[in-house]
Amino acid sequence: MDVDVLLERALSEVELLKEEEIFLVKDLFKGYEWNRIPVKDRLLLGTLFLHEVHKEKVPVIAVEKTSSHQQRYQRISG
C-alpha cells in the first residue's frame, strides 16, 4: 500500500478522536491493518505524520515518547 494513502487515512482518522485524547499513529489503524504494513513503511509513515504535525496541518501536538520510543500525540481543539 502507498505510504501517502496511509498518511491521508491517518490524518482523516484524527478528526474522529476526542479533544485531548492521546494516541499513537498505529492507533489510527485497525490492528490487522497496521500489522500488514511493512516495518519500513510504518517508520516512514510515522516520520511523515510527525512532519504534518509540525507544519500544523492537523489539530495535534506531539507529546512524550513511549518507553519503546514511539511518539505519542494529543488531539487539540481546532
Cα gap 75→58, rounded to integer Å = 9
The total of other beta-carbon atoms located within 10 Å of residue 75's CB is: 19
- How does pLDDT run across 24-76, given as a tens digit for each residue? 999 999 989 999 999 999 999 999 999 999 998 899 999 999 999 999 999 99
Query: For 26, what's the count of Cα atoms within 13 Å in the CB-facing half-sphere?
Result: 14
Say which residues have a Cβ less than 8 Å from residue 43's Cβ, sequence separation at least 6.
Answer: none
Residue 73: per-residue pLDDT = 98
Q: How confident is the model at residue 5 (pLDDT cuts 50, 70, 90)?
A: very high
Cα gap 36→15, rounded to integer Å = 23
pTM, two decimals, is 0.92
